[in-house]
A and B are shown apart, each in its own frame.
Chain A
């Protein structure tokens, strides 16, 4: 009976792909879970080495793709498609392919608890917690509380891999045996000060303000509480000697219990160093060798819309997904790093998956990019709002163009761009943007990119 249900779900997946409508990334799983709520756990028993899950506010898609680049080959992996990270997306992936060595799944922060109890993974990677879509997720503490509950119910056989640099994440499963901690140790790469509106500034245990020996990104860093003495856990998997290579790559030394190795990651930004550390720690835990980890990271190509390079009619362009202040600020800090004038497109949608509340754009430091904004085309359901935000970031109004229609906006970029254009978009805006580029034959459909 269960096999028959899976067969139906599989047929739905084929139909969905054939009709070209979204590639069956969530529908088959949703249907299967409706008739068989424990389907994830039952299908997962087919995974020879079990499953690993990755959750974080920012970087889970990239981390999962990096882990896959390291582990496959030699392992045959089952993975969910970028962004299809609720139970339905994981069930859909298992419907497609449950006869694999290992499942590697990115999981939505709010869905993690439920997915873990069904899937029973052997590895859980906790990346970071930033404020994100408050209308959908609620406050940060609520997500942390759910992760704590998840951790308490986790069997002893399962292992945690966590970001030690995030004090809120580090408060989860702190005393758990075999917990692998990753983080940065490079005071030269630290920010001069903590950014405004950072999260988790106050001690989880006693409420005092954390002191940082180094802040690397948002509230991530080498933290300690001067009041109760709580401090960052000792690091197991560490990045040192971080050097940016413009917008092309970042080099660092990966230090692990198995030894050290120099890595050139073909993606920019400190946030991608964090993603690489999480992927490396996951891979090492599943038995990959250090050289293998380095090779996987060095041949990595960007995940859907994460510094993904595409060709426009006029020249090349880089797609940049922006979802929340912390992630967007890192993208902007990285972009502004080269000091050059740029043509930009900013696509702001306010659909449910983007967050209907667009307040967050005021916590993004567009001010940093303003001096380099040669021409900015604003598009999406909240195009004018984006234009207005840039006006208050001191981008001259003569350089701001508002074009709510995305196809017309892309044409405007092609007309305006000299050199590389940077296309920043919220989640549904990125799907729309990529869909339009697909129609023009400029990118591949995103569901062909997984695995």
Chain B
């Protein structure tokens, strides 16, 4: 079986919510299945490498601004990779950068790469807390997704775009429309960290499967009892 090659964008700038946990989960879940795994860091000024999965995390405002000045170069190559079947996972600041722009509370504007038709405008308050979504990808069964959100940005999706899930507890994209994140083909953007993948191994596996262009055999099941218990506890705490 061919391996999974992950490009981790701006790991030195965008790592505020323990983004390396997401990478660790992708790596281990491949390794446990004997799928070769490789991760390459892509810093400011670096060329965008070929990869099966592109990961973009979240950062402090200042770091995100530095990244925004650089990431524009990758708009076209990344769109080509996605058209070729590569997957993208973008969390928090990375999610905002997928869209057209982020408008700060003082009206200052930071351009995104426009890979997905969405815009983000800062609100006067941060939306902080545990969050639970219900997701149903590709018409599959409803799956629970849990984590933590902490963002001032209010994100609005363009017409016809589907959120990653419906908010069961928490705020989501903007606290108004009940949607959280975005899912367009193999591109996933979300405010949910915690980090995202450890407590939601089903999403990690979905991404791995997508990034591998749907392996001929489905991924071998793993023993997820700790992950499931951690998710159950997180969902119970979020519901309080």
Known: A141-B62, A360-B18, A363-B18. A135 touches B128 (CB 8 A): yes
Chain B residues with CB under 8 A of A135: 128-129, 148, 150
User: Quick check: B60 and A363 within 8 Å, CB to CB?
Assistant: no
| Residue from A197, A350, A362 having most chain B Cβ neighbours under 10 A | A362
Q: Which residue of B lies closest to A382 (CB)?
A: B233
Min CB gap B26→A, angstroms: 11
Kindly state whether residue A2 has any CB partner on chain B within 8 Å.
no
User: Quick check: B60 and A389 within 8 Å, CB to CB?
Assistant: no
User: Quick check: A361 and B18 within 8 Å, CB to CB?
Assistant: yes
Residue from the list A362, A382, A402 in contact with B21, Cβ < 8 A:
A362
Chain B residues with CB under 8 A of A391: 226
Chain A residues with CB under 8 A of B129: 135, 356
Min CB gap A139→B, angstroms: 5
Min CB gap B43→A, angstroms: 10
Min CB gap B223→A, angstroms: 8
Min CB gap B128→A, angstroms: 5
Residue from the list A201, A360, A381, A387 in contact with B237, Cβ < 8 A:
A381
The digit string for B15-41, where 1 denotes a CB below 8 A from any CB of A, is 111101100110010000000000000
Once the chains are docked, how many angstroms separate the CA of A296 from the CA of B202?
55
Min CB gap A205→B, angstroms: 13
User: Quick check: A139 and B193 within 8 Å, CB to CB?
Assistant: no
Known: A201-B12, A359-B193, A362-B198. A382 touches B230 (CB 8 A): yes
Kindly state whether residue B199 has any CB partner on chain A within 8 Å.
yes
User: Quick check: B16 and A134 within 8 Å, CB to CB?
Assistant: yes
Min CB gap A347→B, angstroms: 14
User: Quick check: A362 and B20 within 8 Å, CB to CB?
Assistant: yes
For chain A, the count of residues having a C-beta within 8 Å of the partner chain is 35
User: Quick check: A359 and B18 within 8 Å, CB to CB?
Assistant: yes
User: Quick check: B194 and A358 within 8 Å, CB to CB?
Assistant: yes
Once the chains are docked, how many angstroms separate the CA of A202 from the CA of B64?
13
Kindly state whether residue A150 has any CB partner on chain B within 8 Å.
no
Once the chains are docked, how many angstroms separate the CA of A392 from the CA of B62?
31
Residue from the list A139, A196, A362, A397 in contact with B195, Cβ < 8 A:
A362
User: Quick check: A207 and B227 within 8 Å, CB to CB?
Assistant: no
Min CB gap A228→B, angstroms: 16
| Residue from A359, A387, A397, A402 having most chain B Cβ neighbours under 10 A | A359
User: Quick check: A388 and B227 within 8 Å, CB to CB?
Assistant: yes
Residue from the list A131, A134, A363, A385 in contact with B233, Cβ < 8 A:
A385
Chain A residues with CB under 8 A of B142: none
Kindly state whether residue A384 has any CB partner on chain B within 8 Å.
yes
Chain A residues with CB under 8 A of B128: 135
The digit string for A153-187, where 1 denotes a CB below 8 A from any CB of B, is 00000000000000000000000000000000000
Min CB gap A148→B, angstroms: 15
Known: A362-B195, A362-B198, A392-B25. A141 touches B61 (CB 8 A): yes
Q: Which residue of A lies closest to B198 (CB)?
A: A388
Chain B residues with CB under 8 A of A385: 198-199, 230, 233-234
User: Quick check: A363 and B20 within 8 Å, CB to CB?
Assistant: yes
Min CB gap A346→B, angstroms: 13
Once the chains are docked, how many angstroms separate the CA of A353 from the CA of B195?
20
Tier of interface size on chain B: 35 or more
Min CB gap A351→B, angstroms: 10
Chain A residues with CB under 8 A of B21: 359, 362, 389, 392
User: Quick check: B18 and A197 within 8 Å, CB to CB?
Assistant: yes
User: Quick check: B66 and A388 within 8 Å, CB to CB?
Assistant: no
The digit string for B225-240, where 1 denotes a CB below 8 A from any CB of A, is 0110110111001000
Kindly state whether residue A140 has any CB partner on chain B within 8 Å.
yes
User: Quick check: A357 and B230 within 8 Å, CB to CB?
Assistant: no
Min CB gap B110→A, angstroms: 15
User: Quick check: B130 and A356 within 8 Å, CB to CB?
Assistant: yes
A31-79 contacts to B, CB under 8 A, are: none
Min CB gap B107→A, angstroms: 20
User: Quick check: B237 and A139 within 8 Å, CB to CB?
Assistant: no
Chain A residues with CB under 8 A of B25: 392
Q: Which residue of A lies closest to B126 (CB)?
A: A138
Residue from the list B18, B194, B233 in contact with A384, Cβ < 8 A:
B233
Min CB gap B202→A, angstroms: 14
User: Quick check: B130 and A387 within 8 Å, CB to CB?
Assistant: no
User: Quick check: B148 and A357 within 8 Å, CB to CB?
Assistant: yes
Min CB gap B190→A, angstroms: 14
Residue from the list B24, B28, B223, B233 in contact with A362, Cβ < 8 A:
B24
Once the chains are docked, how many angstroms separate the CA of A202 from the CA of B43?
14
Chain B residues with CB under 8 A of A400: 226
Chain A residues with CB under 8 A of B148: 135, 356-359
Chain B residues with CB under 8 A of A141: 60-62
Once the chains are docked, how many angstroms separate the CA of A388 from the CA of B150?
23
User: Quick check: B66 and A207 within 8 Å, CB to CB?
Assistant: yes
Min CB gap B160→A, angstroms: 32
A362-387 contacts to B, CB under 8 A, are: 362-363, 381-385, 387
Can you list 9 residue pairs at the A/B interface with Cβ under 8 Å? Answer: A131-B16, A134-B150, A196-B15, A197-B15, A357-B17, A359-B148, A384-B232, A388-B227, A400-B226
Which 4 pairs across A and B sit closest by C-beta, in order of nearness?
A: A362-B21, A362-B18, A384-B229, A385-B230
